Amino acid sequence: MRILGIETSCDETGVCLIDASGAGPEDFRYSLLGNALYSQVAIHAPYGGVFPNLAKREHALNLVPLLTQALEQAGTLAPYGERAGVRGSDLGRSDILEILSREPELFEQLAVFLDAYEKPDIDAIAVTHGPGLEPALWVGVNFARALALAWNVPLVAVNHMEGHIMLSAAEGDHMAACEFPMLSLLISGGHTELVLSRTWQEYELIGQTRDDAAGEAFDKVARLLDLPYPGGPEISRLAAEARKYGDTISISSPITLPRPMMHDDTFDFSFSGLKTAVRRMVEELSPLSDEQKLAFAREFEDAVADVLVHKTLKAIEAHGARTIVVGGGVSANTYIKARLAEAIEQGNIGATLLVPPPELATDNALMIAVAGYFHAIQHEYADPAALRANGNLRLA
Ligand code: KG4
Ligand code: ZN
């Protein structure tokens, strides 16, 4: 089954085409035929965070070029007349205009595209319908609805967080041998969650952040330290440098940050207090020396890692989890991954830790196509006339 994946929930615009097979996760296999990803990071950097309406505009401008690129890479982009196939625009769906009425530029580009090319060889379209930034989500959802109608192919609505879980649980072209219960630690710019699965595609939210997400905390603290957006990789780089110096960094006063909610009896998190603590100390010490910035980065990353590792271990023990999946942008963090691996090994827990390769940790369309496949084989299709974006969509 050939699935087109579309992702626009935040600041990455992604379109990919996979060819997948298997009756379920056990015998699942896929190959990536085409993959086009456009990161808006540079565009949002001056704002120090993602600016939703700008993200929406950028998605709208880039979806057709990315679709073209992904299909071309997959060798399934045929100019009309070349293969005597049907032309998208010949299916004559006037509702496409209505669906894209709020994205006139996207409509224009799509109309030209559908006129120029034959319907590609695809079996379903999978799109993120939440959670995320609603204006950004809507562009992808409307684009996918229009394509599904134009090409008359089924549409699959995918939860972005399920996408992170499924791709993190994949190993190369198949799923890792996962034993259940499986515990997913989802750490991204918008979410920090512990999700328990007793079997594939079943989710119970057992813990979540009560305020800022882990990635959001990285981004906000980076801003306080005058580091560029996105803050995660920057802080991580400085923290690694600070660790090379050991304790020899000379700062006037040692920097100690709190470990919020680390020892309470829930699986919930809280990161906004960390940011507030950093703000207060930065105000006091300002202007910061380079060494002080290194020390802040290290202590902040340590604090986040301590809390994430402690709570995850507690959840593993409480629920007897056999497989631990880490997903979301922050799972690109080398230090946090290493700390988790070390804790699981030292704790003699015997659970398997699965983390995505760094290039698949942040948002992409592959995770949506893969998660979408499992819904498609169960014929869990969405109605293209009715599918809506939902910024607060829940997994469980
Ligand atoms: O999953 P993602 O790409 O988008 C959301 O769904 O939010 O995650 C983006 C987040 C950003 O907050 C970014 O700072 C963080 O992931 N991030 C990192 C690292 N790489 C990305 N945080 C810590 N360390 C990293 N190496
Ligand atoms: Zn994400």
Residue 187 has pLDDT above 80, yes or no: yes
pLDDT of 202: 98
Task: Indicate which residue's Cα is closest to atom 14 of ligand 1.
Answer: 232
Residue 286 has pLDDT above 70, yes or no: yes
Matching residue, tokens 């400085």 = 238
User: 272-285 vs 214-224: helix axis angle to the nearest 10?
Assistant: 10
Mutate to test the pocket of ligand 1, among 40, 128, 133, 188 (most ligand atoms within 8 A of CB): 188
**More confidently predicted of 102 and 376:** 376
For the CA of 48, the nearest ligand: 1
For the CA of 227, the nearest ligand: 1
H helices, E strands: number in the chain: 13, 12
Q: What value does the mean pLDDT of the chain take?
A: 94
Please name which of 250, 270, 245 lies closest in space to residue 260, comparing C-alpha atoms. 270
Residue 248 has pLDDT above 70, yes or no: no
Q: How confident is the model at residue 74 (pLDDT cuts 50, 70, 90)?
A: very high
Strand order in the sheet with 192-197: 204-208, 192-197, 182-187, 323-327, 352-354
Mutate to test the pocket of ligand 1, among 137, 185, 238, 362 (most ligand atoms within 8 A of CB): 362
Task: Indicate which residue's Cα is closest to atom 8 of ligand 1.
Answer: 329
In terms of Cβ atoms closer than 10 Å to its own Cβ (0-12, 13-18, 19+), residue 295 is buried
Task: Indicate which residue's Cα is closest to atom 23 of ligand 1.
Answer: 232
Pairing of strands 2-7, 12-21: antiparallel
Q: What is the pLDDT of residues 212-236, one digit of tens each?
A: 999 999 999 999 999 999 999 999 9
Q: What residues have CB less than 8 Å from 225, skipping those under 6 apart?
A: 235, 238, 278, 282, 288, 293, 296, 297
pLDDT of 348: 86
Amino acid letter at 329?
G
Q: 361 C-alpha vs ligand 2 centroid, how far in Å?
A: 8
Neighbours of ion ligand 2 (CB under 5 A): 188, 363
For residue 66 the two structure tokens come to: 């990315």
d(CA 10, CA 156): 19
Mutate to test the pocket of ligand 1, among 186, 191, 218 (most ligand atoms within 8 A of CB): 218
Q: What is the pLDDT of residues 159-185, one digit of tens each?
A: 999 999 999 999 999 999 999 999 999
Amino acid letter at 13?
T
Task: Indicate which residue's Cα is closest to atom 3 of ligand 1.
Answer: 362
Task: Indicate which residue's Cα is closest to atom 2 of ligand 1.
Answer: 329
The ligand 1 site (C-beta within 6 Å) comprises 10, 188-190, 215-216, 218-219, 230-233, 236, 328-330, 332-333, 362-363
pLDDT of 91: 66
Q: What residues have CB less than 8 Å from 32, skipping those under 6 apart?
A: 16, 17, 18, 366
Q: 216 C-alpha vs ligand 1 centroid, how far in Å?
A: 8
Q: How confident is the model at residue 252 (pLDDT cuts 50, 70, 90)?
A: low
